[in-house]
Structure 1
């Protein structure tokens, strides 16, 4: 049988654009909306290139895609490599498969234009899947999350209002494999209300994303600038060599839960059916490109398969040559991580790489470092350049890294130590402890009495999320992985400066403050229901950051664990004061 070979859209490498920029291009947006609608409706859900089948690669309905059959009794539903060193690279051909089908549909749409058809065909040829940069702006435009109809230019050249395919995907029909509540939902939902039938709670969605913005940006900046090994970068499973910053997968998990709540995006079994999934994962892929440029030569290292997939057995070793199933590179061979280092092979790139000479890794590294600092550099401490805590070392090193602040803070000093310390909470738990997604939320100061107010509390400073498949059959299989532990980090320095109004970030000042004012709560994915997580351990770390002249980013020193801050509290450090190092 003939296979669907993933080679990317036609033509050379074109830029994938940020969704806000993309929407401003009349032709791109008009073509995209119609092409996505064609993916929904041109063929039945059983067709290989239908939106439903492509979304289903990620999880339910747990059937072979493109004839790629699974292993007997797999431990994981779907093909997705969660918790594994293959997490970033597996999603690269996945997004490309979606983009390639979308591009094909856009060519069909362009051919229907009767006015200025040549220009529309040219635009369709350059069309690529846009990305949503949630680290710059955590709230997507209304065209993605709020508008049920959007205005486009139709084939006759006139403006018209059409149903917005980015708002929901409508199942036709609901697949019998879906468990409750999805078995009763005709469409996808984001942060759904607790009504029957539910509706999207758009106001709550925007409020949650806005309140998480600072933490998302901080996580992203620290991922790109302080994580240097592939295991620490690629996935949320414990065992990354001592990093105190989040992995790409951990940050990705949070976006899923923030957007979905108790809806499809909050559950990997059905997340692929929400059209925002591909905007999200295109940005995840972009961060892979940025991180790779900043760490030339670092790529997939061997690691455990963890829960496994439909085609990869659990508890085996995977590496850069492991097949990224079900994605064919040729009619007889699958893509592997070793083959996806260069995005131009899949006919796309990102704007940050425009005009760069990719044959000169040092020049690319320097240019991408400048772009990362410009986009996310205010996330280091979130203090103004006038604050001595940052002003003196940064000025000495001629670094602009923390100058682009968005908060006002009192001046602080360091008791002669010279450089500020970055404070981080490490959150660790057994991923499958309660059988579905949940979150550990951290606060500095008072905690709301009502769980539904946690995410929007002004004292909320960040969270770590378990992104867990809730399919009943999968939950049964996960009993074999019930001891699997994952970790994430919440950066505290911005919150300490904002709420503590301390005169120093030294341990003698910060430890008593955190001991008194740092709190945490566990909630299920709906954001309303408290959860009990017996395996939870929250521990505190600090890392001195220096600003060496000529360095693009802060230089991290040796990390110190402060067990006394959380020891003795429920879910706190299990090591006492004697365990500090």
Structure 2
């Protein structure tokens, strides 16, 4: 392990009031022209529970939090204050976001390691990918809470301050569930992240409109975003309209693709939670099969679509990054509760980070740099962050969870992501920003019911850090995809897309000759083909023959440019199948009867497919 160098091992004193440089013309300004002096030393990441109320409270889905108008108001004001902190402050939004990737500088005294260490602190393609993000999110939540608490303190004593103080007591940052069936008359992408402005109540008691801090983050002067176009865009963008400085986000197109791919995401989340039980396999994308990281990549690419979220080094500056990663942590937390005996085991991780060279072995005691545990300079480890309650939070599905009885949790997972999943509760958000009348698939459960007692899934292997940047793999059953990748998700033959979050240059946390894996489940789509009479049965021979005639795939860059299969380094797609014992009740999961097997005949002879005679890995892929 590379040594850590600390600027100072004194405990960092948390001031009750964090004062930042904010324009005094704003109703939420502090009326001071500079930050308070701060104590030198490391910042101990202790979570919100360390700041007052030690109780554990759940992080809520963003649409649920919005229903609590008091918490929603102080959340928006607190996030805005956080974002407006000067970039040279180590507790600024800019520097906290910069821990993940750019600007590639030391944070809190944890200096760059030896060897070929480089890029940001975040370990991608690593067994500590889920655990590293836990203290990272706790740090963000702690600073968000402190900013929010300062906002509340500026309300005049009286009923208004009292109600916002009560709201603050249980406040935790929200998550965005992009896989569950959305509320009626809504799509997967919440309206609250698509609106340029929002209405709030200011500490002076007046109401007004502010720039929505969930819509974009306005980058400070001198922000290191790399080269153009990111260096000329003044704010974070999603699916940018151009490479010019006046480019706009096209959230409507992002929302459309999220809706069209939601069934696939639901099925993927369900498969990971219900039928995968090995931590190493699900924690990263190095092993064949589906995993947290690949699902996570798909959201990054869909939301970014050549904007900030689809570039690994700068994704964390988009405010939606925090909603997305909080949901990844939530899914990981649910998986942990269902699989308490599987956790981090030693593994060599091929990619370098800011503190570790490539091929460093990480285990349960590996420091999750740069997050300090205490005043001595000790760094959090995976062993220390195993429970979310360490940082004072949980998730709605885990409130009251009894580890001796998982049936109630299984029921909740089935209700959210299983074959009979229903809508989330109706949101109180604003009406639709775009016409979604044609998107009937958004309201349909995406998980299969395993009526054919078989599971089918495409396994996709590719070298994602080969220098071409982030890209997507789209899967179809029948229908010839055209040349415009932006239209593929609207095709009746579209099954799903999986993303590979990467960098266009091999210098950013990259290593070209490493395989990454993703998946697109096929079972639900094949069940629909049986119901329509297009497919006779789900017997593997029948399915193999059908897929060899109808299964198609396309690969595209974030700009929508087609990448020929033969020009995609290391690309191969295979179809896996396994017998399934369907669940007998709503409080049970379906069970795999054996290991996955390659359905060779499904892709034999197809360009980029698994052919007869190709090597099969030890785990059947």
Shorter-chain-normalised TM-score: which range? 0.7 to 0.9
Matched, 1:169 2:209: no
Please give the secondary structure, in 1, of the residue aligned with 2:457: strand
Equivalent residue, structure 2, for 1:250: 294
Out of 561, 567, 581, the residue aligned to residue 604 of structure 2 is 567
Cα offset, 1:174, TM superposition: 4.2
Q: Distance in 1 between matches of 2:536 and 2:213?
A: 51
Matched, 1:482 2:512: yes
Within-5 A mapping of 1:524-535: 524-530=557-563, 532-535=567-570
Please give the secondary structure, in 2, of the residue aligned with 1:183: coil
Out of 72, 83, 89, the residue aligned to residue 29 of structure 1 is 72
Matched, 1:50 2:92: yes
Please give the secondary structure, in 2, of the residue aligned with 1:182: coil
Does the 8 A contact of 1:36 with 1:165 survive in 2?
Answer: yes
Q: Identify the range of structure 1 (347-356 vs 368-377) with the bigger mean alpha-carbon deviation.
A: 347-356
Equivalent residue, structure 1, for 2:437: none
Equivalent residue, structure 2, for 1:556: 592
Does the 8 A contact of 1:563 with 1:576 survive in 2?
Answer: no
Q: Distance in 2 between matches of 1:291 and 1:517?
A: 34
Equivalent residue, structure 1, for 2:3: none
Hey, which of these two has a bigger chunk of helix by percent? 1
Matched, 1:223 2:272: yes
Describe the shift of the 1:181–1:73 C-alpha distance in structure 2 as closer, same or farther (beyond 3 A).
farther
Please give the secondary structure, in 2, of the residue aligned with 1:96: helix
Cα offset, 1:261, TM superposition: 0.7
Equivalent residue, structure 1, for 2:16: none
Equivalent residue, structure 2, for 1:492: 522
Matched, 1:507 2:540: yes
Does the 8 A contact of 1:191 with 1:204 survive in 2?
Answer: yes
C-alpha offsets along residues 66-103 of structure 1, whole Å, 9 cap, x if unaligned? 11101135344000010000000000000000000000
Does the 8 A contact of 1:74 with 1:311 survive in 2?
Answer: no
Matched, 1:463 2:513: no
Does the 8 A contact of 2:466 with 2:506 survive in 1?
Answer: no
Cα offset, 1:25, TM superposition: 0.9
Q: Identify the range of structure 1 (129-138 vs 151-160) with the bigger mean alpha-carbon deviation.
A: 151-160
Does the 8 A contact of 1:423 with 1:492 survive in 2?
Answer: yes
* Stretches of structure 2 lacking an aligned partner (at least 5 in a row): 1-7, 9-40, 422-442
Matched, 1:269 2:313: yes
C-alpha offsets along residues 462-493 of structure 1, whole Å, 9 cap, x if unaligned? 1222111335742xx73xx2210011111001
C-alpha offsets along residues 265-294 of structure 1, whole Å, 9 cap, x if unaligned? 001100010000000000011111100000
Cα offset, 1:8, TM superposition: 0.4
Out of 296, 315, 323, the residue aligned to residue 279 of structure 1 is 323
Does the 8 A contact of 2:198 with 2:209 survive in 1?
Answer: yes
Please give the secondary structure, in 2, of the residue aligned with 1:189: coil
Within-5 A mapping of 1:158-557: 158-176=206-224, 178-194=226-242, 196=244, 197-238=246-287, 244=289, 246-331=290-375, 332-357=377-402, 361-363=403-405, 365-378=406-419, 406=445, 419-449=452-482, 450-470=484-504, 473-474=507-508, 478=510, 481-499=511-529, 501-530=534-563, 532-547=567-582, 549=584, 552-557=588-593
Please give the secondary structure, in 2, of the residue aligned with 1:433: coil
Describe the shift of the 1:154–1:275 C-alpha distance in structure 2 as closer, same or farther (beyond 3 A).
same
Does the 8 A contact of 1:191 with 1:205 survive in 2?
Answer: yes
TM-score of the pair, normalised by structure 2 = 0.82
C-alpha offsets along residues 395-445 of structure 1, whole Å, 9 cap, x if unaligned? xxxxxxxxx964899x998xxxxx521111110011222331111111111
Q: Distance in 1 between matches of 2:529 and 2:189?
A: 28
C-alpha offsets along residues 157-177 of structure 1, whole Å, 9 cap, x if unaligned? 443221101101111114245
Q: Distance in 2 between matches of 1:330 and 1:527?
A: 47
Describe the shift of the 1:407–1:472 C-alpha distance in structure 2 as closer, same or farther (beyond 3 A).
closer
Please give the secondary structure, in 2, of the residue aligned with 1:495: helix
Does the 8 A contact of 1:219 with 1:491 survive in 2?
Answer: yes
Q: Distance in 1 between matches of 2:218 and 2:174?
A: 21
Q: Identify the range of structure 1 (88-97 vs 195-204) with the bigger mean alpha-carbon deviation.
A: 195-204
Equivalent residue, structure 2, for 1:397: none
TM-score of the pair, normalised by structure 1 = 0.88
Equivalent residue, structure 1, for 2:42: 3
- Number of aligned pairs? 537
Does the 8 A contact of 1:444 with 1:499 survive in 2?
Answer: no
Cα offset, 1:555, TM superposition: 0.7
Describe the shift of the 1:177–1:130 C-alpha distance in structure 2 as closer, same or farther (beyond 3 A).
closer
Please give the secondary structure, in 1, of the residue aligned with 2:46: coil
Please give the secondary structure, in 1, of the residue aligned with 2:476: strand
Out of 62, 77, 90, the residue aligned to residue 132 of structure 2 is 90
Q: Distance in 2 between matches of 1:578 and 1:232?
A: 20
Please give the secondary structure, in 1, of the residue aligned with 2:489: coil
Q: Identify the range of structure 1 (76-85 vs 521-530) with the bigger mean alpha-carbon deviation.
A: 521-530
Cα offset, 1:198, TM superposition: 2.1
Q: Identify the range of structure 1 (441-450 vs 92-101) with the bigger mean alpha-carbon deviation.
A: 441-450
Please give the secondary structure, in 2, of the residue aligned with 1:454: helix
Does the 8 A contact of 2:280 with 2:343 survive in 1?
Answer: no
Q: Distance in 1 between matches of 2:315 and 2:450?
A: 44
Cα offset, 1:535, TM superposition: 1.7
Q: Give the root-mean-square deviation of aligned CA atoms.
A: 2.4
Does the 8 A contact of 2:467 with 2:505 survive in 1?
Answer: no
Describe the shift of the 1:572–1:407 C-alpha distance in structure 2 as closer, same or farther (beyond 3 A).
closer
Does the 8 A contact of 1:378 with 1:405 survive in 2?
Answer: no
Cα offset, 1:446, TM superposition: 0.9
* Stretches of structure 1 lacking an aligned partner (at least 5 in a row): 381-403, 414-418
Does the 8 A contact of 2:66 with 2:72 survive in 1?
Answer: yes
Cα offset, 1:342, TM superposition: 1.5
Q: Distance in 2 between matches of 1:92 and 1:577?
A: 39
Describe the shift of the 1:176–1:232 C-alpha distance in structure 2 as closer, same or farther (beyond 3 A).
closer
Q: Distance in 2 between matches of 1:578 and 1:183?
A: 45
